[in-house]
Amino acid sequence: MTNDLSIDQLRSLVTIAETNSFTLAAQKLFRTQPALSLQIKRLEEQVGMSLLQRKGRTIEVTEAGQVLVDYARRILNLNEEAIAKLSLTETEGKVRIGVLEEVAIGHLVDLLTKFGRLCAKVELELVVDTSWKLSGMIKKNELCLAVANLQYANSYTTPLWNENYVWVHHQDYDFLKEESVPIIIDSTGYPCIIRDKGIEFLKALGKPWHFAFSSYSLTALKAAVQAGLGVGFIAESAVTEDMCLLESSDMLQSILTTTIGMYRSVEATSPAVDTLADFLLDHLQDPKTKNANRK
């Protein structure tokens, strides 16, 4: 086998081991499940051993996999410690960053917490809002950075990853059999391109439907789906194991893809903003996006 182990593959292995699930690991790493499966397959081919095994609905680590997981944690910690010691510790300043709720409830808050520990002299202020409002705040220089849907981009932005929005329902209910399909979707009280596309799907459905629940909050939308109120349209990274995705053969178009990226205010030029922006790009940007940007 070759001697060099991929940091990215080791991070995926550790995350799967910690969550016992490809689905949950994919959500934490902002990757698709097929991409994670391919990484693990290549890692197993490299070391010549099986690292993970499926047991029922969960993923378990093999004996060989546990040995590698232990080393992988040490390698990842040393890697981040080296980066931190070299570039972060002396940076000072204040950064006001806006975050889309789909991102705020995921891996990003953990990253910001880690950044705060590594770079204790930088003061962070987090604002959670819709992509439309965050893009407006960037334009008015009320935020330094924002991680949000790039559909509203009118300033300097950098793509990070693609996010799928999907139709889901609670696993115990089949709402498509009902005479009128109950729908759970973002509130119509503010501009939302994703929601408007979802409503376009509904209008082309050819079957009666009605709004059962709407909210500005992703957390509230998820709770409504989990309570069995209807079919919801939410980010795939927010889907939980008690939800079922509608398949392409169902009456609703199942997937809409958009790009999540980083906005930056034209007035945000401090070393603290530079440091946080670079840190987030290193941890959040999809490798395919990084390669595309280099071309």
The pLDDT tens digits of the residues spanning 218-276 come to 889 999 999 999 999 998 888 888 888 887 656 666 678 889 999 999 999 999 999 89
**In this predicted model, which residue has the larger pLDDT, 32 or 83?**
32
What pLDDT was estimated at residue 295?
A: 44
Q: Hey, where are the domains in the chain?
A: 7-86, 91-162+259-294, 163-257
Q: What is the pLDDT of residues 106-147, one digit of tens each?
A: 678 888 888 888 888 899 999 999 899 999 999 999 999 999
Compute the average pLDDT of residues 160-182. 87
Element (H, E) at 124: strand 122-129
Q: How far apart are CA 83 and CA 211, in angstroms?
A: 49
Compute the average pLDDT of residues 177-182. 87
Strands 243-245 and 157-170: antiparallel
What pLDDT was estimated at residue 29?
A: 85
pLDDT > 90: percent of the chain: 37
Among 8-22, 78-92, 133-147, 184-198, the minimum mean pLDDT is found in 78-92
What pLDDT was estimated at residue 108?
A: 82
pLDDT > 70: percent of the chain: 91
Determine phi and psi for 91, rounding to 5 degrees.
Answer: -70, 135
What pLDDT was estimated at residue 2?
A: 52
Among 167, 110, 157, which Cα is nearest to 131's? 157
Take residue 158 and report the two structure tokens written for it.
Answer: 């950098």
Q: What is the pLDDT of residues 60-99, one digit of tens each?
A: 999 998 999 999 999 998 887 777 666 666 788 999 999 9
Among 56-65, 97-106, 180-189, 215-224, the minimum mean pLDDT is found in 97-106
Q: Average per-residue pLDDT in the chain? A: 85
Among 60, 9, 66, which Cα is nearest to 39's? 9
Q: What is the CATH number of domain 7-86?
A: 1.10.10.10
CATH class of the 91-162+259-294 domain in this structure: alpha beta
The sign of the CA dihedral 189, 184, 20, 163 is negative
Topology classification of domain 163-257: D-Maltodextrin-Binding Protein; domain 2 (3.40.190)
If 0-12 CB within 10 Å is exposed, 13-18 middle and 19+ buried, where does residue 221 land?
A: buried
Take residue 261 and report the two structure tokens written for it.
Answer: 């990226």
- Amino acid present at 49: M
Angle at 231 between CA 228 and CA 234, to 5 degrees: 110
User: Rounded to a whole number, what is the largest CA-CA distance in the chain?
Assistant: 63
DSSP string for 43-68: HHHHHTS--EEEETTEEEE-HHHHHH
> 228 and 239 in contact (C-beta within 8 Å)?
no
**In this predicted model, which residue has the larger pLDDT, 118 or 48?**
48
| Fold match flag (91-162+259-294 vs 163-257) | yes
Among 11-20, 124-133, 149-158, 212-221, the minimum mean pLDDT is found in 149-158
Give the confidence band of 290 by pLDDT, cuts at 50, 70, 90. Answer: low
b/e sequence 91-111, b meaning 16+ C-beta within 10 Å: bebebbbbbbbbbbbbbbeeb
Beta-carbon contacts of 134 under 8 Å, excluding residues fewer than 6 positions away, are 98, 99, 100, 127, 143, 146, 148, 263
Among 287, 284, 290, 274, which Cα is nearest to 87's? 274
What pLDDT was estimated at residue 294?
A: 45
